[in-house]
Amino acid sequence: MTANASADRAATVIIGQRVRAGLEKEFEVWQKDLNRAAADYAGFLGAEIAAPTPTQPDWVIVYRFDSIAHVQAWINSATRQDYLDSGRQFFDGPATQQVVSGGIRPPDPLLTVVVTHRVGDDSIDEFLAWQDRLREVESAFDGFRGTELFRPVDGVQDEWTLLYRFDNAAHLDTWLTSPERQQLLAEGRKFHDFELRTVDNSFGSWFAFDENGNEAPPPSETKTSIAVWVGLYPTVVLLTLALSPLKLPLWLGLLIGNLLSSFIMSFFTMPYYVNRLLHRWLRPPPGIPVAKTNAQGVAIVAAVTLFWVVVFYLVTTQFWSLP
């Protein structure tokens, strides 16, 4: 791929930053201000902040821009440098930064490992063959969910970036500590100059990517609110019906119901029901009039809502009465 072709593709910046103990709230306020400043730059698609977790010791900040050129403009901007100068009081060591060009798969409820390698020009073929062996062995381990390899980005990053995903920390740890991996690392000892860190994406954005896994601007707040409502109504009613035989007091029923609905919405309703049902409305295909996609979207929302209303009316009044 040429540099010009690469520049035409969306770009993601993944930044890891450790924060001094006791300054987490101040750092988060500062980071949100920085993200708002990034939104004023050309090509900005979105930004996310993820607090540390048991498997992710760093704060992780993800920026998305529509091209490498716009990423460079933001990274090298005086605005960002001024913010970094004022925020050094929060930092517990230097930040890590990876820039990858092109779409990244959606942030499913998985653990993502980010690995960066420095590879000499005369060793690229050997490195790629070694990565193929790693991928083949890794894919046989329980919980493996895929891998992506990104080439260096001219003028931005010299390292190769590898992303691979597992479904939970236990399966990931099995792979990281396995004899098979240790043997493969020994085979690739000339590529020992690498950095590895884990990013917990369990609560990634519902709308950060399109249905093909490519980065895309989020839908409008109005569309987002309606889409969440479309998923929330059947989820809440079905949970209420499921919990009703337990005859829980109101305060306890709502507590448990809200917890369960949060997990169901994040891991099932939004990715597998709402986003698939409304994807052409949430992210209209290019070249189709906005009025047409909006009319189709409103029709789908109305039809599916009417369907659930009828179903729940019949279930709760004709076939079953709540205890």
pLDDT in tens, 26-46: 999 999 999 999 988 888 888
* pLDDT band (50, 70, 90) for residue 201: low
- Rounded mean pLDDT, 194-212: 54
Residues 99, 153 contacting (CB under 8 angstroms): yes
DSSP strand pairing (111-117 vs 160-166): antiparallel
Q: What is the DSSP letter of 67?
A: S
Read off the tokens for 265: 């919405």
Nearest Cα to 283, choosing from 303, 295, 297?
A: 297
* pLDDT band (50, 70, 90) for residue 200: low
Three-point CA angle 163, 110, 189, nearest 5°: 35
pLDDT in tens, 253-294: 889 999 999 889 988 898 889 988 998 888 776 667 878 889
- The order of strands in the sheet holding 111-117 is 144-150, 160-166, 111-117, 194-200
pLDDT exceeds 90 at position 302: yes
**17 three-class SS:** strand
Predicted pLDDT of residue 255: 92
**H-helix or E-strand spanning residue 83:** helix 78-87
CA distance 13 to 7: 14
CA distances to 2, 41, 110, 195 from 78, in Å: 29, 12, 35, 28
Residues 296, 281 contacting (CB under 8 angstroms): yes
- Global pTM reads 0.51
CA distance 105 to 216: 11
Q: Indicate the fold that domain 3-200 takes in CATH.
A: Alpha-Beta Plaits (3.30.70)
CA distance 109 to 57: 18
CA distance 134 to 127: 10
Three-point CA angle 169, 174, 179, nearest 5°: 155
Predicted pLDDT of residue 260: 93
CA distance 85 to 150: 30
Residues 220, 284 contacting (CB under 8 angstroms): no
The domain spans of the chain are 3-200, 221-319
pLDDT in tens, 134-184: 989 998 999 888 887 888 877 677 888 888 888 888 888 899 889 999 998
- Rounded mean pLDDT, 71-85: 90
pLDDT exceeds 80 at position 14: yes
Nearest Cα to 280, choosing from 260, 300, 264, 262?
A: 300
The alpha carbon of 285 is separated from its chain's Cα centroid by a whole number of angstroms, namely 22
- Rounded mean pLDDT, 19-25: 93
